[in-house]
Chains A and B, each alone.
Chain A
């Protein structure tokens, strides 16, 4: 990431809930267009970490700058993809994808063009008039991904977005995500507890410690896409990350 312009700068981020210290003085940078994965033991505060970045939780201390400015959801264009399905059940697929554009008052014609472009990319144009309750889990997650990308976000935060999908669908959606990210150059922070997923997707992997969470290590994955999970180098990095994550 050293050759990239800094997109996100986190300095001394600390979060306490009462006396409980969850995030302990975390500092790191994310480069523009970087795909950063964050892994850590279960319950280590990964989600708190993301929520603090977006100021969904107010950090106890520290700063998060995007393009050199303090995070502001009105000003910065951040998209967040959760593990749980967050489509609006009363909107059709098309309306769901359009949701963020309407909120940001993007002109009608431009919004329509962008929505149809992204529906095509995620392969849902045939289903644009369907309601979420008529779709499968992977299709729903595609809707959410299209909704996130269509706003052309400065930063895309993903919190175990594929945690509930079976392995085949996960692989497919991971490839789609990489392709979308390559096309749009969006900066992505991707949280997962799945080490293989992190090595498959990330340019860099941050490994967090158990609570109170600190950054334990940072591992670069200098491999071309598409990566082969059976490749010797892949296995080596995966083992390295696995060793780093062990807290026992």
Chain B
């Protein structure tokens, strides 16, 4: 088992190394830094940004600011998503009221909301929260809705037989059995929310990893754009790993 794990880690590292090597070779062949900078340059620049500020801050600050925005929006999305999902999954009436509206709003991409969000929430953090919220809440809602709908009827029957009230059935059966679905939703949502950070930070800002890209674009600085992309990729990867870790800890019972 252990050696298999080791093998898998080595395979992962080799893929990444291979990717960087191909990138390096192609960029050397292209030989146009503004079109495709070398992988070595981007990786080096990426590390440099942790020491040398880009704009007002170093990379650490940019990441923390973006994480703060995603964090706030993600918590809101989780609360709203779980409430909506549970409500729609559990009550036919709530489903009838909310589901069609939800399905109409869901396909509108977060980027399309930027103009309205500026109008409604101004240029500050509120509009950024709003965009990231829209980028993540539907995944949580949809998964929670699925989970609540798919509760094993046998389990509800068993609880009822043991004298459980509606309230007890809800809190002791419906909610806990939806948790794996909710977690699956949270996992997609955290990545989706983090991905929409660029869009959110296109709304006038002076900091954040999304800003790095937008500013790089405005200045025609390919290296800054790609450094920003690399930062988003790495942090997104770490966030996904973190949710998996939390999920494994909390959902030991669901581990096959």
Which residues of chain A have a CB within 8 Å of any CB of chain B?
Answer: 54, 56, 73-74, 77-80, 82, 84-86, 88-92, 99-100, 102-104, 131-133, 144, 147, 151
Which residue of A78, A86, A89, A99 is within 8 Å of B172 (Cβ)? A99
- CB-based contact A90/B163 at 8 Å: no
Which residue of B165, B172, B177, B253 is within 8 Å of A132 (Cβ)? B253
- Please give, as numbers and ranges, the residues of chain B lying within 8 Å of A102 by CB-CB distance: 172
Say which one of B2-10, B30-38, B87-95, B152-160 lies at the interface with A: B152-160
- Please give, as numbers and ranges, the residues of chain B lying within 8 Å of A99 by CB-CB distance: 159, 162, 172
Q: In whole angstroms, what is the CA distance A84 to B157 when docked?
A: 12
Is B12 interfacial (CB 8 A cutoff)?
no
- Please give, as numbers and ranges, the residues of chain A lying within 8 Å of B256 by CB-CB distance: 133
Which residue of A100, A132, A144, A147 is within 8 Å of B163 (Cβ)? A100
Mark interface residues in B136-162 (1 if CB within 8 Å of A CB, else 0).
000000000000000010110111111
Mark interface residues in B227-256 (1 if CB within 8 Å of A CB, else 0).
000000000000000000000000111111
Which residue of A54, A86, A100 is within 8 Å of B155 (Cβ)? A86
- CB-based contact A82/B154 at 8 Å: yes
- CB-based contact B177/A80 at 8 Å: no
Is B179 interfacial (CB 8 A cutoff)?
yes
- CB-based contact B253/A133 at 8 Å: yes
- CB-based contact B162/A86 at 8 Å: no
- CB-based contact B163/A89 at 8 Å: no
Q: List 28 A-B contacts (CB under 8 A).
A: A56-B160, A56-B161, A73-B160, A73-B163, A74-B163, A80-B157, A80-B161, A82-B157, A86-B154, A86-B155, A86-B157, A86-B158, A88-B155, A88-B173, A89-B254, A90-B179, A90-B251, A90-B254, A91-B253, A99-B159, A99-B172, A103-B162, A103-B164, A133-B254, A133-B255, A144-B158, A147-B162, A151-B162
Interface of B (DSSP majority class): helix
- CB-based contact B161/A90 at 8 Å: no
Quick one: given A82-B157, A88-B173, A90-B179, are A100 and B254 in contact (CB under 8 Å)? no
Is B220 interfacial (CB 8 A cutoff)?
no
- CB-based contact A73/B161 at 8 Å: yes
- CB-based contact B161/A78 at 8 Å: yes
Q: How many A-B residue pairs have CB under 8 A?
A: 65
Quick one: given A79-B161, A103-B164, are A84 and B154 in contact (CB under 8 Å)? yes
Q: Which of B155, B165, B256 has the most CB of A within 10 A?
A: B155
Quick one: given A103-B168, A133-B255, are A82 and B159 in contact (CB under 8 Å)? no
Is B176 interfacial (CB 8 A cutoff)?
yes
- Please give, as numbers and ranges, the residues of chain A lying within 8 Å of B254 by CB-CB distance: 89-90, 133
Q: In whole angstroms, what is the CA distance A20 to B75 when docked?
A: 52
What is the interface size of chain B, counting residues whose CB is below 8 A from a CB of the partner?
24
Extra 19 A-B pairs, beta carbons < 8 Å, given A89-B254, A100-B162, A100-B163: A56-B157, A74-B163, A80-B157, A80-B158, A80-B161, A84-B154, A86-B154, A86-B158, A88-B177, A89-B253, A90-B179, A90-B251, A103-B162, A103-B164, A103-B168, A103-B172, A104-B162, A131-B252, A133-B256
Mark interface residues in B105-131 (1 if CB within 8 Å of A CB, else 0).
000000000000000000000000000
Q: In whole angstroms, what is the CA distance A80 to B156 when docked?
A: 12
- Please give, as numbers and ranges, the residues of chain A lying within 8 Å of B162 by CB-CB distance: 79, 99-100, 103-104, 147, 151
Which residue of A73, A90, A147 is within 8 Å of B177 (Cβ)? A90
- Please give, as numbers and ranges, the residues of chain B lying within 8 Å of A131 by CB-CB distance: 252-253
Q: Which of B155, B159, B163 has the most CB of A within 10 A?
A: B163
Please name the residue on chain B nearest to A96 by beta carbon: B158
- Please give, as numbers and ranges, the residues of chain B lying within 8 Å of A84 by CB-CB distance: 154
- CB-based contact B176/A90 at 8 Å: yes
Q: Within the complex, what minimum Cβ distance (angstroms) separates B44 from chain A?
A: 48
Q: In whole angstroms, what is the CA distance A103 to B165 when docked?
A: 8
- Please give, as numbers and ranges, the residues of chain A lying within 8 Å of B253 by CB-CB distance: 89-92, 131-133
Q: In whole angstroms, what is the CA distance A151 to B173 when docked?
A: 18
Q: In whole angstroms, what is the CA distance A77 to B152 when docked?
A: 23
- CB-based contact A104/B163 at 8 Å: yes
Please name the residue on chain A nearest to B253 by beta carbon: A131
Please name the residue on chain B nearest to A132 by beta carbon: B253
Q: Within the complex, what minimum Cβ distance (angstroms) separates A99 from chain B?
A: 7
Please name the residue on chain A nearest to B164 by beta carbon: A103
